[in-house]
Amino acid sequence: MFRIGYLFLPLVLAVGDGALAVERAPRISDREIVERLTRLEEGQRSMEYRFSAMEKRMDDRFSAMEKRMDERFSAMQEQMDQRFSALQKQMEHHMMMQWNLILALMVSILGLVGFVTWDRRTVLKPLERRFTRIADEVEMDLGMDSPEGSKLARLVKALRELAPEDRKLAEALQRFSLLEDLPRKA
């Protein structure tokens, strides 16, 4: 243990000697103090001037940067507005085209319906006239106005009356189912 103490003793003396050493400052006159204070104040003023100049430059830079960013954003906003308005115009154009197509389709359908009804009337009128004419001719030919019946019915009746006397006529009328069974001659 003593050996350790012998080792630390010179170390403590060497370190402790520097801590106790105080150097005496030379005497400064009042004039030197005032000069140094003046220089210090001038240095502070120049430092304040530099700081204010640097602050002004930074403010200028920030305001310029802010101005550029505002210009960019306004340009971007203007471009987006133009794009949206162009897109809106394009969509309106497409909507108008769709409406025009729908209206054209509706007009064509109505035109087709009108044509079909007109065509049907124009086709049916000649057929109607033809059927009326045929009906009139048949009515005239058959003589439907007679109280005794039509000419055809009267003709069949007359042939039936002649059939018992003419065997060939009777057979022909029976073949076409125009003659009921004849009464046989006794």
Give the model confidence (pLDDT) of 78-129 as tens digits. Answer: 999 999 999 999 999 999 999 999 999 999 999 999 998 888 888 788 888 8
* 172: in domain: no
**Which comes out higher in pLDDT, residue 22 or 57?**
57
Whether the per-residue pLDDT at 12 is higher than 80: the answer is no
Q: What tokens appear for 86 in the block?
A: 């162009």
Indicate the residue type of 95: M
Give me the domain span that covers residue 85.
Answer: 31-120
* pTM for the predicted model, two decimal places: 0.37
Q: What phi and psi values does residue 133 have, to the nearest 5 degrees?
A: -65, -45
The pLDDT, as a whole number, for residue 182 is: 54
* Number of domains making up the chain: 1
Mean per-residue pLDDT, 52-61: 94
In a domain, 181, yes or no: no
The pLDDT value given to residue 186: 44
On whether the CB atoms of residues 158 and 164 are closer than 8 A, the answer is no
Asked whether residue 19 is domain-assigned, the answer is: no
Query: Quick check: is 86 in a domain?
Result: yes
Among 151, 176, 150, which Cα is nearest to 163's? 176
In a domain, 90, yes or no: yes
In the predicted structure, residue 15 carries a pLDDT above the cut 90? no
Cβ pair 185, 164 in contact under 8 A: yes
Please give the Cα distance from 138 to 186 (Å, whole number).
Answer: 41
Has residue 37 been placed in a domain?
yes
